[in-house]
Structure 1
Amino acid sequence: MNRNFMSVIITFTFVVLTIAGCSTSTSENKEKIVFATDASYAPMEFMDKDKLTGFDIDFLAEVMKEAGIPYEIKNVGWDTMLESVKQGTEYKGSISSVSITDERKETYDFSIPYFESTNMIMVKEGSNITTALDLQDKKVGVQGATTADTLMSDIMGQTNTDLKRFDSNTLALLELEHNGVDAVVADVAIVREYIKNNPKNKLVGILDTDNFGSEYYGLLYPKGSELKKQIDPAIKKVIENGKYTEIYKKWFGEEPDTSKLLTVQ
């Protein structure tokens, strides 16, 4: 065998091996992304014994599969989640029913919207409260640093001592059960789920679309994160290919209206 022919074989073998080495799956080469969540928002995200579950958890799994990015998700408190994602060290993002607001956009980047929501008032049966404006002279429970907090601060006044801010919606809802507040304001999915799961408590949900408009949830990232451009196309694909509808029907028992999700920014 002459040297030139041998050289061609060696070169060809090297190229083949190089190509084979490059064929490793994209997800295997990508850094694992750690997301944070506050698992106190059933049915969006909550703990089932020692397992994270809920709409957001299933949705994120489908999105990250579509994006081909390995990830894990950890349960932390709401305030811890917001602060740690802002820093962008341990947690590179979060999914936790976080409403996209202009104020939050000053501190964070958001994905495209993936869920339409609104806030809802929850009271006990027999209450004379029918709208958000009826809450002005009442004791009202909200989770601090949420859009419910912002809305009720505008209606009742930022320093109103009758506006009770809690670390979680669960604590606010318990306060209503024990007559510590007259009403709780929280996301509609959370209120409806709580009423469904606690029929003996005789609770009522009140929608007030005049004072509580539509809100849109997004994945939360630190400012300048590269994840947005990587994950946004996957969110769009999951909404369009029917996977979103499957997950929505699993958790809410009805078809979602996705018409606004891909048009609202």
Structure 2
Amino acid sequence: MTPSMGRLGRLAVLFSAGVLALSLSACSQDEGGTVDDIHLVKADALTVCTHIPYKPFQFTGDNGEVVGFDVDLVDLLAQDLGVETNVVSVDWNQITSGAVLAAGKCDLAMGGATITPKREEAVLFSDPYFNATQALLVKKGSDYAGLEDLEGKRLGTQTDTTGAIYAEKHAEEHGYTTVVFDDLALETTAVSAGKVDAAINDNGPLYQYAADNPETEIAAEFDTGERYGFLAKKDDENAQKLIDRLNQALATAKDDGTYDEIFKKWFGQVPGTINEE
């Protein structure tokens, strides 16, 4: 049985900006529970915010359920606590800014979030669980082998991502124009549709997109030394307890082979240097 088959269950809830604002106060005032001296914003559930889609880390499956690599990992914590996993989709900048966590909307947040000093000022990160690089997505058969080939061209980026930062850093050097998209799906489909000449983002989801869309391919990778972490509320004793429990669950999964099983399920191979120090 695969690790995800043993989960207790998962609910997917998608919020518009208006519904999110209304639900912030309702969640904190009317709901909540405590498990093993850890307060959860929703009784009997581990509420996790993310921004969908970010395949294969989190996306909506064929049956409408939110699935993915990150989801299977936080399910390990939910199982340990004896609760369900409740996934809520919000704007990505609400996660990286820590706003949605500070407001008490979520217990945790996920989304292939790179640990950076700036983000650490706003949120509490778990131990790293995934090593990532930036990748360049192009139309198959194009002459673009790297950023240096994009002079006078349009490069797609996703707002509030490390890929966008990397692209802006090198834009003047290589003479391309960046085109910012609100989410990964808009960015990648813009490459397929020819609206941009290339797109930069984390390697995991871009390799997944290229596999699903054979008219595209990965032209280059840029080793930026990035590592992903799960996020929780900054400077909060309860959030620290939850992150400590999550770190323990991740360490156990790596020791007993569960992490490798989940990794192979979503990436087709076992990790090589993932979080190996």
**After alignment, is 235-244 or 163-172 more displaced?**
235-244
Residues 207-252 of structure 1: per-residue CA shift (max 9 Å, x gap): 334xx32311100112113232232222211122111001011111
CA contact (8 A) 1:133 1:155 kept: no
What SS does the aligned partner of 1:128 have? coil
Query: Which of 241, 251, 258 is the matching residue for 2:266?
Result: 251
Matched, 1:223 2:234: yes
Structure with the greater alpha carbon radius of gyration: 1
Q: Which residue of 1 aligns with 2:59?
A: 46
CA contact (8 A) 1:123 1:183 kept: yes
Letter matched to residue 275 of structure 2? L
What SS does the aligned partner of 1:112 have? coil
Query: Which of 31, 43, 50 is the matching residue for 1:37?
Result: 50
What SS does the aligned partner of 1:180 have? coil
Query: Which of 222, 225, 228 is the matching residue for 1:214?
Result: 225
**After alignment, is 72-81 or 140-149 more displaced?**
72-81
Residues 86-116 of structure 1: per-residue CA shift (max 9 Å, x gap): 5241123201110111221121111000111
Query: Which of 195, 198, 202 is the matching residue for 1:187?
Result: 202
Residues 16-52 of structure 1: per-residue CA shift (max 9 Å, x gap): xxxxxxxxxx947643342101121111100014210
Q: TM-score, normalised by structure 1?
A: 0.79
Query: Which of 160, 171, 176 is the matching residue for 1:156?
Result: 171
Q: Which residue of 2 aligns with 1:55?
A: 69
Q: % of aligned pairs identical?
A: 26
Letter matched to residue 166 of structure 1? F
Matched, 1:78 2:95: no
Aligned CA distance change for structure 1 residues 34 and 220 (closer, same or farther; 3 Å): same
What SS does the aligned partner of 2:39 have? coil
Letter matched to residue 58 of structure 2? E
Unaligned runs of 5+ in 1: 1-25
**After alignment, is 65-74 or 48-57 more displaced?**
65-74
What SS does the aligned partner of 2:221 have? coil
- 1:162-177 pair list within 5 angstroms: 162-177=177-192
Pairs aligned (count): 232
Q: Which residue of 2 aligns with 1:205?
A: 218
RMSD: 2.4
Q: Which residue of 2 aligns with 1:21?
A: none
Q: Which residue of 2 aligns with 1:111?
A: 126
Shift of 1:162: 1.9
Question: In the aligned structure 2, how far is the partner of 1:152 from the partner of 1:141?
Answer: 9
Aligned CA distance change for structure 1 residues 106 and 30 (closer, same or farther; 3 Å): closer
Letter matched to residue 69 of structure 2? F
Letter matched to residue 39 of structure 2? E
CA contact (8 A) 2:155 2:176 kept: no
Aligned CA distance change for structure 1 residues 219 and 69 (closer, same or farther; 3 Å): farther
Shift of 1:69: 6.5
Q: Which has the higher strand share?
A: 2
